[in-house]
Amino acid sequence: MGILEKIQKQSFQKHTEKNLEQRDLSQVNSKLRTLGFLVDEHTIQEFEPLYDFSKSLELQPKDVKVFSFQEVKKKTPSLRQNQVNNKDFTWKGEIHNDNALEFLNLPFDILVGLYDGPHPYLDLMVSKSKAKFKVGCKNADERLYDLIITIPAGELQLLESELKKYVTVLNKL
């Protein structure tokens, strides 16, 4: 890791900490009406199964949104609008992607971080999110989430059943 990457990582951590301090927890117990997924495309490439979560969680498909992160390594253009990449972040932790900012400002009742942590870019995004209740997967930074389901991010069937179980137990349905 070069010196610039270290500086950027430290800056991201600082901004993540600041976002965590400013988080509004007043709506953490609200009922589930909207669901957001923040996905690392390295872990999950097919998003259709995520929209299918709506059935088991008694939501309409329109109430489920997916946003993804893709590390830019090659010059292959992506047709996905709901995608952010490492080039959209300044070293100060600012995001220059209007779609990402719009997604992060949505007050999802539940936001699920689908990535194997730690991940400086996605951790920063989770900390910036206005979601009311945040769910992470195995090895996630516990400070970012209200609930961590200890399964790998790519195990979508297991994730769906565990998420339904916890949402029911927490009386969010």
Domains and CATH numbers, the chain: 3-23+31-73+80-169 (3.40.50)
Q: Which of 162, 111, 155 is nearest to 133 (CA)?
A: 111
Instruction: Tell me the average pLDDT across 62-89.
Output: 84
User: Using 50, 70 and 90 to split pLDDT, how confident is the model at 161?
Assistant: very high
Q: Is the dihedral of CA 27, 28, 30, 32 positive or negative?
A: positive
73 pLDDT more than 70 = no
How far apart are the C-alpha atoms of 5 and 2, rounded to whole Å?
5
Most confident stretch, 29-38, 74-83, 89-98: 29-38
Residues 36-53 pLDDT 10s: 999 999 999 999 999 999
- The per-residue pLDDT for 81 is 81
H helix or E strand, kind and range, residue 66: strand 64-70
User: Using 50, 70 and 90 to split pLDDT, how confident is the model at 18?
Assistant: very high
What is the DSSP-derived secondary structure letter of residue 164? H
79 pLDDT more than 70 = no
Instruction: Tell me the average pLDDT across 133-158.
Output: 95
Spatial CB neighbours of 92, under 8 Å, sequence gap ≥ 6: 11, 15
Instruction: Determine what percent of the chain is predicted with pLDDT higher than 90.
Output: 83
Residues 89-139 pLDDT 10s: 998 889 999 999 999 999 999 999 999 889 999 999 999 999 999 999 999
In the chain, the amino acid numbered 116 is D
In the chain, the amino acid numbered 153 is A
- Alpha helices, DSSP H only, in the chain? 3-21, 48-51, 53-56, 98-105, 120-128, 156-169
How far apart are the C-alpha atoms of 47 and 65, rounded to whole Å?
10
